[in-house]
């Protein structure tokens, strides 16, 4: 059981790292919209759409990380499984 919990939390750490990367990409897309002009409106619409899609995917991934933490907590508290805390990533709130 402990090995499965450790593996789950290790995977959650990788997912959370990917979330940070996606949020950085969304920020870069947002900054690209600052260059919008009437001449490149289609391009700007695409930046906005991509930014929203990346934000939505990052939020979904954050939910998966939160669910992993909840399952880990449940297993430790209710089933007496021990977990190594150094595998547990730091959670961050989902961006609205």
pLDDT in tens, 46-58: 888 888 888 888 8
Residue count of the chain, please give it: 96
How confident is the model over 64-76, as a mean pLDDT?
82
The pair phi, psi for residue 27, each rounded to 5°, is -65, -40
Domain ranges of the chain: 2-87
Entry pTM: 0.61
Please give the Cα distance from 16 to 3 (Å, whole number). Answer: 20
Structure confidence by residue, pLDDT tens digits, 12-49:
888 888 888 888 888 888 888 778 888 888 888 888 88
How much of the chain exceeds pLDDT 90, in percent? 0
Nearest Cα to Cα of residue 13 among 74, 80, 78, 86: 86
Residue 81 scores a pLDDT above 70: no
Please give the Cα distance from 90 to 13 (Å, whole number). Answer: 8
């Amino acid at each position: 059981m402990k090995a499965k919990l450790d593996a789950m939390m290790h995977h959650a750490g990788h997912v959370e790292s990917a979330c940070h990367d996606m949020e950085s990409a969304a920020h870069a897309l947002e900054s690209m919209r600052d260059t919008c002009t009437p001449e490149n409106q289609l391009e700007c619409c695409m930046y906005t759409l991509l930014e929203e899609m990346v934000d939505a995917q990052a939020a979904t991934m954050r939910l998966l990380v939160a669910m992993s933490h909840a399952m880990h907590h449940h297993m430790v508290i209710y089933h007496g499984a021990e977990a190594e805390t150094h595998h547990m990533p730091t959670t961050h709130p989902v961006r609205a």
